[in-house]
Amino acid sequence: MERFIQLVFDGIATGSIYSLVALAIVLIYRSTGLKNLAQGEMAMFSAFVAWQFHAWGLGIWLAAVLAIIASFIGGMALQRVIIRPVQDKSLLTVVIVTLGLFLAFNSLAGGIWGYIIKAFPPLFPSNVISMGAVRVPVANIGVFMVLVVLAGGLAMMFKFTKIGLAMRAVAYNMETSKLVGIRVNNVLMLGWGLACALGAAAGIFVAPKLFLDPFMMFGVLIYAIAAAAFGGLDSPFGAVLAGLIIGVVENLAGSYIGFIGSDLKILVPLFLIVVTLLFRPQGLLGHKYVVRV
Amino acid sequence: MKRTTPRRITAALAGFALVLAACGGDDDSDATPDPEPPADEPADEPADEPADEPADEPADPPATDYEWDGSYPDPGVDDEVIKLGTSGPMSGPASAYGVITSGFNVCADYINGEYGGIAMADGVVRELEYEVYDDGYDPANTVENVRRLNEQDGVFFMTGVLGTPPNTAIIDYVEDEEFPNLFVSTGASRWGRDFQSGEYQWTMGWQPAYTTESAVYVEYLEENHPGSTVAILMQNDDYGRDYVDGFKLSLEGTSIEVIAEQTYEVTDPTVDQQVTELANSGADVFYNVTTPRFAAQAITRVGQLDWDPIHLLNNVSASVGGVLVPAGIEASTGILSTQWFKDPTDPNWDDDPAMIEYRRVMAEYGGGQDPDDPFTMFMWTQCELIKQLLPQTYPTREHLMQNVANLGALNIEIDVLLPGINVSTEPGDGYPLEAMQIVQFNGEFFETIGEPIIFDGQTADMVN
């Protein structure tokens, strides 16, 4: 039983990581109608920026806040300079551009900071809570709390603010949004900025656990994409829920289902993607769109 | 206007995820990474060679009974120069190992600057030239580099080509071309096995094989912790399997038992679940067969759980700056690993003549090379080897390969190896180095423990 509880807690901890990155993917999709394959690498890059600020002598929380602000600005610049010229092109074109960003950020981080892993200073106390034989690091709880706050904030923004409404409108139909007076380009820029800021937070909060290097988010992105697809690309809570489910299910399957073991763990999220596509393409909590023909 | 439905997008994402998962990340680094160690006995040299060779200058050597007819049947060598080549990751994810590759330029500068070149067995002094190419740890680039070295540059032989995947990619080519690929910088056990079986006679390893390292741990456990149980965490690829297969083969007939095993993929974000499971087994020993990021995660994780095993960390990740410090000094102190050369960061070697000479050469010829970087020392062991091998070799590949297969019969004494560790190959033994010493991290550096554990001529028995 203790083993089971330990695995569930560990699953929630890794699930929180997937969810954080999935949230950023959802945010960009919800606000611009795109999905950004470079999300994980941008988060990694932002974490490096925070690490650099800290290495220059700033406190880690201040460094984190500065990096998040820098990422917000950087995200808007990226949208303006790289994404805007191709945003009217086909889905494939944009996917390829974000793939290019993926490679660019990976190499850039390697070129600037090297490939040797770095310890990222912890943002939460490093002690561990013991409940019998079950051990839960405080940092895991901290990351989970951050996740809940961010997901809640995001959902509220989309639901209750004007800018959230504008983002939804733009993502839904760019032409019509223009006609009703929404400054589409500004909204898109803002969407990228926010997604990058959120990604930065994700990178910064998971870096102490994963250790910082240019490949830190490589595996995470796969799970985050799975979480976004499984939970519903346009639903923040869906992404969070799905990320947590994937984390827990993957751990339990790896431990209790003999033939899966740790070898085939990665098939768990891929299996979930396929099942989602087959039976509920809009995802667990996603909205169903009806297209008139 | 066209709308993209969630289904299309999800499908695109799923496709991308599959590609990512399939590609994995090539971060199974397999040069021997950082190292460390030694301690107690500075300065006295391995005393088992006829002591007439001060290892310091290219000696002229007791050539074997090879008859050289004075012609040059092979490219890359004439009366003036010997051209050698190498390929390795001077950029990209594995670029930490790049100092091994770029270091061969330092080696050439040193030999030419200090001695005007190398006097080969015919007594003619030839200048040493190195062609050094970057492959970014991408086997496709290595293939290209090696073709260029062979077909355009026409080098005599290659040394220290780095990494298991790159060398695996070129092994058939060098075999077909009869192009010597010597002392490759990877610990895969296949180089020695295939060399001695005759399957691949033009590729030879250098550092102790991963299987040898596993055997060293087994012997250490059997001696110091008989009857202990072991939990293994391993990267699920050739590198991990090499270590673990060797470990299990060495276990036969001992009182040590493996009671839990977990694997991970390089795409796994963390190894928490695996370590949790291993801790659950309650094993006495944790054998950590992982590359640096996962090694650091596992070390941190063990510290969080209710488990205090004897922690064996494979040499691949035994890096103070690259793994143990990031993982946390407290959690890392006491970890055991292995080493085979003198660690430049271990203050116990500060007064060692070999270390003093090494630092002098690096200061004079090293350019930007960091003498404290264990990979620089790794390269230096190969430079010393070449410096001592060529004077005993006539300028033909035939004689070169004859010597390489019989290193034990030559005078090779590399004084930066840990005392008691010697270089030797002979017919039926294709592994030049087959001994390592257990080292323990004391919070600052790895200290040597006991004596080297030696498996001369036995590595092949530990390979499937």
Cα–Cα separations (whole angstroms), residue B345 to A115, B348, B354, B366, B384: 21, 9, 14, 17, 20
Chain A nearest CA to B302, separation (Å): 11
Q: What SS3 state is found at B454?
A: strand
Residue B396: half-sphere exposure toward Cβ, Cα within 13 Å: 12
Identify whether residues B190 and B243 lie together within a single domain: no
Give the E-state strand segments of B1-124 in sequence order: 81-88, 118-119
Contacts of residue B27 in chain A, CB cutoff 8 Å? 215
Instruction: Inform me whether the C-beta atom of residue A122 falls under 8 Å from chain B C-beta atoms.
Output: no
B160 plus B301 within the same structural domain: no
Query: What residues of chain B, 133 to 152, have a C-beta less than 8 Å from chain A?
Result: none
What is the 8-class DSSP label of residue A82?
A: I
Question: Which ipTM score applies to this complex?
Answer: 0.88
Site of tokens 């499908």: B11
Cβ count near B299 (within 10 Å): 24
**pLDDT value for A126:** 83
Chain segment A150-178, per-residue pLDDT in tens: 999 988 988 899 988 888 888 888 888 88
Same domain, B70 and B168: yes
Residue B328 contacts A where some CB pair is shorter than 8 Å: yes
Please tell me whether residues B191 and B44 are part of one structural domain. yes
Select the residue of B18, B269, B322 nearest A14 (Cβ to Cβ): B269
Q: Is A263 helix (H, G, I), strand (E, B) or coil?
A: coil
Q: What is the pLDDT of residues B224-264, one digit of tens each?
A: 999 999 999 999 988 999 999 999 999 999 999 999 999 99
Same domain, B232 and B144: no
Residue B55 falls inside a structural domain: yes
Domain co-membership, B216 together with B200: no
Looking at the partner chain, which of A17, A37, A234 has a beta carbon nearest the beta carbon of B16? A37
A238 touches chain B (CB under 8 A): no
Render pLDDT for B271-303 as a digit per residue (tens, 0 to 9).
Answer: 988 998 899 899 999 999 999 999 999 999 999
pLDDT tens profile A50-107: 999 999 999 999 999 999 999 999 999 999 999 888 888 888 888 899 999 999 999 9
A276–chain B nearest CA distance, Å: 9
Flag if B269 and A117 touch (Cβ within 8 Å): no
Task: Determine the pLDDT at residue B20.
Answer: 52
Assess whether B284 and B302 both reside in one domain.
yes
A233/B9 touch (CB, cutoff 8 Å), yes or no: yes
Asked if A261's CB is within 8 angstroms of B12's CB, the reply is no
Q: Do B172 and B85 share a structural domain?
A: yes
Residue contact A209–B322, C-beta within 8 A = no
Q: What is the pLDDT of residue A29?
A: 87
Residues B117, B242 within the same domain: no
Q: Are residues B180 and B235 in the same domain?
A: no
Q: Is the pLDDT of residue B378 over 70?
A: yes
Buried b (16+ CB within 10 A) or exposed e, A169-207: bbbeebeebeeeebebeebbbbbbbbbbbbbbbbbbbbb
Cβ contact, residue pair A174, B6, below 8 Å: no
> Min CA distance, A282 vs chain B (Å)?
6
B163 occurs within a structural domain: yes
> For chain B, what percent of residues have pLDDT higher than 90?
71
Query: Is B358 a member of any domain?
Result: yes
pLDDT band at B349 (very low <50, low <70, confident <90, very high): very high
Q: What is the pLDDT of residue B25?
A: 41
Which residues on A lie below 8 Å from B264 (Cβ)? 262
Task: Tell me which chain B residues have a C-beta less than 8 angstroms from the C-beta of A14.
Answer: 269-270, 272-273
Q: Number of structural domains, chain B?
A: 2
User: φ and ψ at B224, to 5 degrees?
Assistant: -100, -25
Q: Which of B10, B262, B277 sits opposite A277 (nearest CB)?
A: B10
Q: How far apart are CA B56 and CA B413, in angstroms?
A: 10
Measured between alpha carbons, how far is residue B284 from residues A218, B236, B278, B308 in Å?
33, 23, 11, 8
Q: Which of A33, A128, A269 sits opposite B4 (nearest CB)?
A: A33
Q: Is residue B444 domain-resident? A: no
B50 contacts chain A (CB < 8 A): no
Token pair recorded at residue A35:
């999905």
Q: How do B435-441 and B453-454 pair as beta strands?
A: antiparallel
Q: How far is A144 from chain B (nearest CA, A)?
A: 16
B179 inside domain: yes
- Average pLDDT of span A6-18: 91
Using a CB-CB cut-off of 8 Å, the residues of chain A touching B21 are 222, 266, 270
Residue A291 forms contact with B (CB below 8 Å): yes
CB of A38 less than 8 A from some CB of B:
no
Q: What is the mean pLDDT of chain B?
A: 86
**Chain-chain contact of B269 with A234 (C-beta, under 8 angstroms):** no
Q: Domain of B373? A: 36-207+347-417+426-431
Q: Is the pLDDT of residue B137 over 60?
A: yes
Average pLDDT over residues B47-52: 41
pLDDT attached to residue B189 = 93
In a domain, B16, yes or no: no
Mutation choice for B interface testing from A25, A101, A102, A115 by most B CBs within 10 A: A115
Average pLDDT, rounded, for chain A: 88
pLDDT surpassing 50 at residue B56: no
Collapsing DSSP to helix, strand or coil, A134 comes out as: strand
DSSP structure string for B202-251: SEEE-SPPHHHHHHHHHHHHHHHSTT-EEEEEEESSHHHHHHHHHHHHHH
Alpha carbons B236 and B257: distance in angstroms, whole number: 21
Tell me: the pLDDT tens digits for B104-135? 999 999 999 999 999 999 999 999 999 999 99
C-alpha–C-alpha distance, residues B261 and B281, integer Å: 9
- Residues in chain B, how many? 464
The answer, yes or no, to whether residue B400 has pLDDT greater than 90, is yes
Q: Residues 95 to 114 of A: which have CB under 8 A from any B CB?
A: 95, 99, 110, 114
* DSSP per-residue letters across B267-324: T-S--HHHHHHHHHHT-SEEEEE--HHHHHHHHHHHHHTT---EEEE-GGG--IIIII
User: What six digits make up the tokens of A79?
Assistant: 């949208």
Sign of CA dihedral B396, B401, B404, B408: negative
The pLDDT value recorded for residue A293 is: 63
Question: What confidence score (pLDDT) does residue B64 get?
Answer: 57
Provide the CATH number for the domain around residue B110: 3.40.50.2300
Residues 58-87 of B with CB under 8 A from A: none
Distance between B327 CA and the closest CA of chain A, angstroms: 7
The string of pLDDT tens digits covering residues A95-123 is 899 999 999 999 999 999 988 899 999 89
Q: What share of chain A is helix, strand, coil (3-state, %, to 5)?
A: 75, 5, 25
Is B13 an 8 Å CB contact of chain A? yes
Give dist(CA B113, CA B130) in Å, integer.
14
Of A133, A219, A233, the CB nearest to B267: A219
B445 or B19, higher pLDDT:
B445
Spell B159-197 as b/e; 16+ CB within 10 A means b: bbbbbbbbbbbbbebbbeeebbbbbbbbbbbbbbbbbbe
Q: Does B8 touch chain A (CB under 8 A)?
A: yes
For the segment B41-49, the average pLDDT, to the nearest whole number, is 39
Residues B178, B184, B189, B192, CA torsion sign: positive
Q: B367 to chain A nearest CA, in Å? A: 20
The least confident of A178-187, B13-22, B80-89, B385-394 is B13-22
Quote the tokens at residue A196: 């990058």
Residue B19 has pLDDT above 70, yes or no: no
Is B436 within a domain?
no
Length of chain A as a residue count: 293
3-class secondary structure, B448:
strand
Give the pLDDT confidence of A212-235 residue by residue, as tens digits.
999 999 889 989 988 988 888 888
Contacts of A10 in chain B (CB under 8 A): 272-273, 276
Kindly state whether residues B397 and B319 are assigned to the same domain: no
Its CATH class, for the domain covering A2-279, is: mainly alpha
For A229, which of B5, B14, B306 is closest by C-beta distance? Answer: B14
Cβ–Cβ under 8 Å, residues A217 and A44: yes
Asked whether residue B240 falls in the same domain as residue B163, the answer is: no
Per residue in B30-44, pLDDT (tens digit) is: 444 433 333 333 334
User: What's the one-letter identity of residue B251?
Assistant: L
A247–chain B nearest CA distance, Å: 10
Predicted model pTM = 0.85
Size of interface A-B (CB pairs under 8 A): 173
Q: Give the residue extent of every domain in chain A.
A: 2-279
Q: How far apart are CA B378 and CA A107, in angstroms?
A: 27
